[in-house]
Amino acid sequence: MSQPAPANAESASTPVTGSGNDPAAASASSPFADLAAFVALPRVGALALSPDGRRLAISVQTLDAEKKKWQSALWEVDPEGARPARRLTRSAPGESAPVWAPDGSLLFTSARPIPGAKDDGDPKPALWSLPAGGGEARPVLSRPAGVSSFTVAVDSGHVVLAAATMPGGSDPEADEERRTKRKDAGVSAVLHEAYPVRFWDHDLGPAAPHLFWAGRLPADEPATGAEPVVLRDLTPDAGPPSGSGEDMSLSPDGSLLVRTDDVADGPAGRRSRLVVIETASGETRVLVDDPLADVYAARFSPDGASVVCVRESLSTYDEPPDYTLLLVDARKGTVRELTAGFDRWPSAPQFSADGTAVFFLADDDGRHAVFRVGLDGAAPVRLTADGAYSDLQVARDGSALYALRSAFDSPSAPVRLDPATPDQEPAPLPNPGTLDALPGTLHEVEAVAADGARVQSWLVLPEGASAESPAPLLLWIHGGPLMSWNSWSWRWCPWVMAARGYAVLLPNPALSQGFGLDFVRRGWGEWGGAPYTDLMAAVDAAEQRPDIDATRTAAMGGSFGGYMANWVATQTDRFQAIVTHASLWDLDAFTGTTDAAYYWEKEWGDALRQPKRYEQNSPHRFADAIRTPMLVIHGDKDYRVPIGEGLRLWYDLQKRGVPSRFLYFPDENHWVLTPGNSMVWYDTVLAFLAEHVLGEEWRRPDLV
What is the C-alpha to C-alpha distance for residues 190 and 198, in angstroms, rounded to an integer?
Answer: 11
Residue 572 falls inside a structural domain: yes
Residue 586 falls inside a structural domain: yes
At residue 14 the predicted structure's pLDDT band, cuts being 50, 70 and 90, is very low
pLDDT at 28: 60
At residue 246 the predicted structure's pLDDT band, cuts being 50, 70 and 90, is confident
CA distances from 196 to 167, 244, 269, 271 (A): 18, 15, 8, 12
Q: Are the CB atoms for 387 and 406 separated by under 8 Å?
A: yes
Residue 448 falls inside a structural domain: yes
DSSP state, 321?
Answer: -
> For the residues 31-43, what does the mean pLDDT come to?
96
What range does the domain containing 652 cover?
A: 12-37+435-692
At residue 116 the predicted structure's pLDDT band, cuts being 50, 70 and 90, is confident
Residue 526 falls inside a structural domain: yes
Mean pLDDT over each residue of the chain, to the nearest integer: 93
Closest CA to 538 of 485, 499, 495, 493: 485
pLDDT at residue 82 tops 50: yes
At residue 27 the predicted structure's pLDDT band, cuts being 50, 70 and 90, is low
Q: Are the CB atoms for 481 and 465 separated by under 8 Å?
A: no
Taking only the tens place, the pLDDT of each residue in 147-175 is 999 999 999 999 999 999 999 999 999 99
What is the C-alpha to C-alpha distance for residues 607 and 247, in angstroms, rounded to an integer?
Answer: 33
CA distances from 263 to 154, 244, 605 (A): 29, 10, 21
- Tell me how many domains the chain contains: 1
pLDDT at residue 691 tops 80: yes
Residue 141 falls inside a structural domain: no
The number of angstroms, rounded, from the C-alpha of 392 to the middle of its chain's C-alpha atoms is 15
Q: Are the CB atoms for 130 and 106 separated by under 8 Å?
A: yes
Provide, rounded to the nearest whole percent, the portion of the chain with pLDDT above 90: 90
Residue 288 falls inside a structural domain: no
At residue 20 the predicted structure's pLDDT band, cuts being 50, 70 and 90, is very low
pLDDT at 227: 60
E strand spans, 265-340 = 270-278, 284-288, 293-300, 306-313, 323-329, 335-337
Residue 455 falls inside a structural domain: yes
Taking only the tens place, the pLDDT of each residue in 552-590 is 999 999 999 999 999 999 999 999 999 999 999 999 999
pLDDT at residue 397 tops 80: yes
Half-sphere exposure of residue 489: CA atoms within 13 angstroms, side-chain side: 17
Taking only the tens place, the pLDDT of each residue in 659-677 is 999 999 999 999 999 999 9
pLDDT at 26: 45
CATH of the domain at 594: 3.40.50.1820
Taking only the tens place, the pLDDT of each residue in 358-384 is 999 999 999 999 999 999 989 999 999
> For the residues 27-43, what does the mean pLDDT come to?
91
pLDDT at 230: 87
Q: Which residues contact 588 (CB under 8 A, 6 or more apart)?
A: 607, 611, 614, 618
Residue 553 falls inside a structural domain: yes
What is the C-alpha to C-alpha distance for residues 387 and 366, in angstroms, rounded to an integer?
Answer: 9
CA distances from 694 to 20, 33, 533 (A): 25, 17, 26
> For the residues 505-516, what does the mean pLDDT come to?
98
pLDDT at 5: 33
Q: What is the CA radius of gyration of the chain?
A: 26
Sign of the dihedral defined by the CA atoms of residues 515, 518, 523, 529, in that order: negative
Taking only the tens place, the pLDDT of each residue in 646-660 is 999 999 999 999 999
What is the C-alpha to C-alpha distance for residues 28 and 489, in angstroms, rounded to an integer?
Answer: 22
pLDDT at residue 57 tops 80: yes
> For the residues 251-270, what does the mean pLDDT come to?
96
Closest CA to 48 of 353, 402, 370: 402
> For the residues 71-89, what does the mean pLDDT come to?
96
Closest CA to 218 of 162, 114, 143, 140: 140
| 17 phi and psi angles, rounded to 5 deg | -155, 165
pLDDT at 134: 83
